[in-house]
Structure 1
C-alpha cells in the first residue's frame, strides 16, 4: 500500500519555515516534528500535531529526554494513548481531503450543485492567474485574511509564519487569483508539502461571490496540483454546525471526510498514575464518526 502523504504540520517544508523564523521544531527519533514552547520559570509545553502514531506505546522512547507536558493531535484515532495515561481533551475533528485524479474523474465526483456553480463561473470568462506567492508581509491577501479573522473571530497562522513558509520554500506556495477587468475578485493560497497540498487562506469580494469565483479557483487548483504530481488536497477541518456553508463547499468539491485522532494531554512523568482515569475518560468520550456525504444538502 502506498504511504499516505505527509501532513503539512509534519513535513520538512513546515520545519524549514519555523527554522527560518528562529523557532526550529524538535525532530523525534522517527522523524516526527514536535513544537516546544517555553514559559516563565523554566516550564515548557510540547505540541505534536498530525503525527501518525501507529504504535502509541512507543511514544515514551520517541520523546527521549523531552518529557515536558505534551499536547497530541494524532493523524488517526489512537485509543492506545489512554494506556499511557494520556487524557482526551477534545473529541476527534473531521478533515476534508480531495483525492486528486484525472480531470474527468474529479469532475464526476463534484456535487451537482457545485458543478453547476463551476459551469456558471466558467461561462463568465474570468481571468485566472497562478503565481508563486511573494514573501511580502504586506501582501493584500494577508491583510484581507487578518481583517476577516477579526470580523469573524477565528484564529489561524500568524501572518509571519505564512511569510516564513513562502520565503523558506520558494515556489511551494501558489496563489490562484480570479480577475475581472484587471481587478481581483477572489484569491486562494495553497501550500505544497510533498505529494499533497493544503488550502491555506482565501478571500473573495461581493462580486467574486456572485460569480462563484472561489468555485472556479478551487477547481483550477485541483487541476493544477494533480497535473504536477499531487495526490491530495487537504482542505482543513469541516464543521457542519458552526460553518455549514463552508463544509458544503468543501464536500461539494469532492472532498472525502476523515476522522482525526482527537486532542490529548499527556505528562510522561504522571502517565502511570493517570492511566486508569485516562482510560475511563476515553471510554466516556467515545469516538465521533466521520461526516457522511449525505450531510451535503
Structure 2
C-alpha cells in the first residue's frame, strides 16, 4: 500500500484543501524523506499537527532539516522526538493518546477483539432491531445532526472542528464524508459521521438521544461502519483522542472496540537560539 494513502487526517491534502476553502492559511512544507507537511500559519507561527510523516528512518541530518523548515510548533506523531530535540524544539505539552482500529481483518476478528462489556452492549443494540443506514453527508438532509452536535457541544462544554470545515470537505470530496444513522421506526436515535482520507477513515462526530443511549445504538453504528469501510478497502479507522479524565465514557467506548492505543509525541515549540 502506498504510504501517502495512510496519512492522518491533519496531514492529508484533502483536509488542507477544506481548510483553505474556509480562509485558513495553509502551507505545504517539503522535507526530504517525508510526506509534504501540511501546516497552518496563524499569528505569525507555523503549526504542523500529526506531522511530519517520515517515509524513511530519520537520521542526524533530519535535525538540520527541521531546524531550517520554518515550522514553529509541531504536534508530533511520536516517531521523531530525538530529531525534534536536536533541532532545538522543546516539549510544551505532554503527549495525548489515540485509538486506532485496524480494518485489515474480518468482522468476526474485530468482534473477538472487543471487550466483553462492549460485545454485550452490541448484543442489546442488535436485539433492539434498529434500522441502520448510511449515506453521503448532505447539509440539507443532515442539518439536524449538525444542530444536535452544536447543542451537545454547548451542554458538555467542548469545541470541535467548525462545521464550515466539514462542509467544505464534503463539497470538495462528497464521497469521503459518510453519515451512519440508527433509527427506531422513523425517528433517528443516534448517528456517527466519518471522514475518509486515502485508506484511512477518521471518526469525526457522533450524537445519541436518550433512546439511542438506552439501546446502545452507537455500538451497532460503529460495527456497521467498520464493515462498510473494510469493504471499501480502508486499512484503519482513527477513533481520535482517548481522554480518560475529561471524557471517561467516550474513552471506555473507544477502548472497548479493541482498538490499539498509541501515544503521540506531544506538542513541541522551536526555540530559535538552540
Fold shared by both chains (TM-score > 0.5)? yes
1:163 has 2:167 as partner: yes
Contact 1:17 1:169 in 2 (8 A): no
Contact 1:121 1:213 in 2 (8 A): yes
Counterpart CA distance in 1 for 2:141 and 2:165 is: 10
Residue number in structure 2 paired with 1:36: 41
Secondary structure (helix, strand or coil) at the match of 1:201 reads strand
Alignment of 1:1-297 (within 5 A): 3=3, 5-23=6-24, 25-30=26-31, 31-37=36-42, 39=43, 44-51=44-51, 52-53=53-54, 55=58, 58=62, 61=65, 67=70, 70-80=72-82, 81-100=84-103, 101-136=105-140, 139-267=143-271, 270-272=272-274
**CA displacement at 1:122 relative to structure 2:** 0.9
Determine which structure has more spread, i.e. the larger CA radius of gyration: 1
Secondary structure (helix, strand or coil) at the match of 1:92 reads coil
**CA displacement at 1:63 relative to structure 2:** 7.9
Secondary structure (helix, strand or coil) at the match of 1:97 reads strand
**CA displacement at 1:92 relative to structure 2:** 0.9
Contact 2:48 2:75 in 1 (8 A): yes
Counterpart CA distance in 2 for 1:118 and 1:27 is: 42
Q: For each residue in 1:91-118, what CA deviation from the matched residue of structure 2 results, as whole angstroms up to 9, or x when unmatched?
A: 1111101011211111111111111111
Residue number in structure 2 paired with 1:286: none
Contact 1:185 1:205 in 2 (8 A): yes
**CA displacement at 1:244 relative to structure 2:** 1.8
Counterpart CA distance in 1 for 2:131 and 2:161 is: 29
Secondary structure (helix, strand or coil) at the match of 2:238 reads strand
**CA displacement at 1:179 relative to structure 2:** 0.5
In structure 1, runs of 5+ residues without a counterpart are 273-297
**CA displacement at 1:21 relative to structure 2:** 2.3
Residue number in structure 2 paired with 1:292: none
Residue number in structure 2 paired with 1:294: none
CA separation of 1:130 and 1:239: change in aligned 2, threshold 3 A:
same
Secondary structure (helix, strand or coil) at the match of 2:114 reads coil
Q: For each residue in 1:59-84, what CA deviation from the matched residue of structure 2 results, as whole angstroms up to 9, or x when unmatched?
A: 654686x73x7211111243221222
Contact 2:203 2:239 in 1 (8 A): yes
Q: For each residue in 1:108-148, what CA deviation from the matched residue of structure 2 results, as whole angstroms up to 9, or x when unmatched?
A: 11111111111111112111110000145981111111111
> How many residues are aligned here?
263
Counterpart CA distance in 2 for 1:210 and 1:165 is: 32
**CA displacement at 1:58 relative to structure 2:** 2.8
Counterpart CA distance in 2 for 1:60 and 1:201 is: 39
TM-score normalised to the size of structure 1? 0.82
Secondary structure (helix, strand or coil) at the match of 2:251 reads helix
In structure 2, runs of 5+ residues without a counterpart are none
Counterpart CA distance in 1 for 2:25 and 2:236 is: 27
Secondary structure (helix, strand or coil) at the match of 1:179 reads strand
Contact 1:28 1:62 in 2 (8 A): no
